[in-house]
Amino acid sequence: MAEEKSEEVELSYKQKTEIAKWFLLNSPAAEIQYIAKDLRSVLNDENVYKEAASEAFPLYNKSHLICLELPNNTGDVLVTSYSEIGENEYLDPRTTQVAIVDHVKQVCTEVRPATDEELPSAYIEEFRYALDAQIQKYVGEAYTKGVCAVYCISGKDVEGPGSDFELVVVISASKQSPQNFCNGSWRSIWNIEFKDDVQGLEIRGKLQVDAHYFEEGNVQLDAKHECKDSSVFQSPDDSAIAIATTIRHHETEYLSSLEASYSDLPDATFKDLRRKLPVTRTLFPWHNTLQFNLTRDITKELGIGK
């Protein structure tokens, strides 16, 4: 019988680009530069790499809420879809500056003053500024390396009471420890609708935790959570306190639930993952594991090696 020959199919330029983009977009938190370096070497095609990188990096940076230092050392800017006001331009409402970003290098190359049209009205700024102050205080207490920003995404031209508007709170924190083979990030986005007609606030949150452990393996965590709440439309300072308190409550509650879930991993989750009846046809006695010596008693109990 003649031996069948396997034919290698050459991928098209578009296919290579799409595959490269997939790898970049699915890079773990804070690791896209490492992936890009290896990918560039594997591809051995500078045109494919450059096209994939130019499309993937902006999406990755915005979805991961990366924080970049402003070139004049006046602060930081968060790269998000809410702060984006033009191609590669991102507003820092705290310093009223616009940063021009090189997405692939993940640096700010220039900075310019924001125009009046790019900033909210004085009335909206009162609410934004008060909320930003409260969120900064909370993030400083809750996250070791946390950054935050508050943007107006609807109704920024409102000049006084009588109209609705919307603010969004963005919180980003990361812990990078590649020397210990682990990286992680926290991201939360809170949309707050100020409804003037009912004098109420509608609060919606999206929380996400990522972690990557890669010492002699590759384990990733991607946990997401959404929540809703409401409060009363008050003065800028009182509204800010109410919103920050609500955010603190939900984020603390979610982190506590994650801790509780992972503390149950050894005693519950891993047991459920294990096959019910192993190849020895003997169930493992989970109720009394402390009596065993790993090299002698488990072998005897399960009949291994007989």
Q: Are 70 and 108 in contact (CB under 8 A)?
A: yes
What's residue 224's pLDDT?
A: 96
pLDDT of residue 259: 86
More confident residue, 296 or 134: 134
**51 has pLDDT over 50:** yes
CA 185 to chain centre: 6
Band of residue 272 on the pLDDT scale cut at 50, 70, 90: low
pLDDT tens, position by position, 152-206? 999 999 999 999 999 999 999 999 988 889 999 999 999 999 999 999 999 999 9
Q: Tell me: pLDDT of 298 over 80.
A: no
Domain with CATH 3.90.1150.210 in the chain: 120-265
Higher local confidence (pLDDT), 246 or 220: 246
What amino acid is encoded at 16 in this protein? K
CATH 3.40.1080.10 fits 11-63, yes or no: no
CATH code of 67-115, in short, is 3.30.1140.60
Residue 99 has pLDDT above 90, yes or no: yes
Closest CA to 170 of 30, 76, 70, 56: 76
* DSSP category for residue 207: E
Cα separation, 238 vs 234, in Å, equals 6
pTM over 0.95: no
CA angle 233, 235, 241 (to 5 degrees): 80
**141-145, 260-264, 271-275: the lowest-pLDDT one:** 271-275
Nearest-5° angle of CA 202, CA 205, CA 206? 150
Give pLDDT, residue 92.
97
Given this model, what pLDDT does residue 286 score? 60
pLDDT at 291 over 70: no
What span, in angstroms and rounded, lies between the C-alpha atoms of 155 and 153?
7
- Looking at the chain, which residues constitute the CATH 3.30.1140.60 domain(s)? 11-63, 67-115
Q: Is 30 helix (H, G, I), strand (E, B) or coil?
A: coil
Would you state the structure tokens that stand for residue 108, as one six-digit string?
Answer: 């700010």
Q: Residue 262 — pLDDT band, cuts 50, 70, 90?
A: confident
Q: Which of 184, 203, 166 is nearest to 82 (CA)?
A: 166
Distance of CA 128 to the CA centre of its chain: 23
* Residue 128 confidence (pLDDT) above 50: yes
Most confident by average pLDDT, 6-10, 142-146, 289-293: 142-146
* pLDDT value of position 216: 81
| pLDDT band per the 50, 70, 90 thresholds, residue 1 | very low
- CATH superfamily for domain 120-265: F-actin capping protein, beta subunit (3.90.1150.210)
Are 101 and 108 in contact, with CB atoms under 8 Å apart? yes
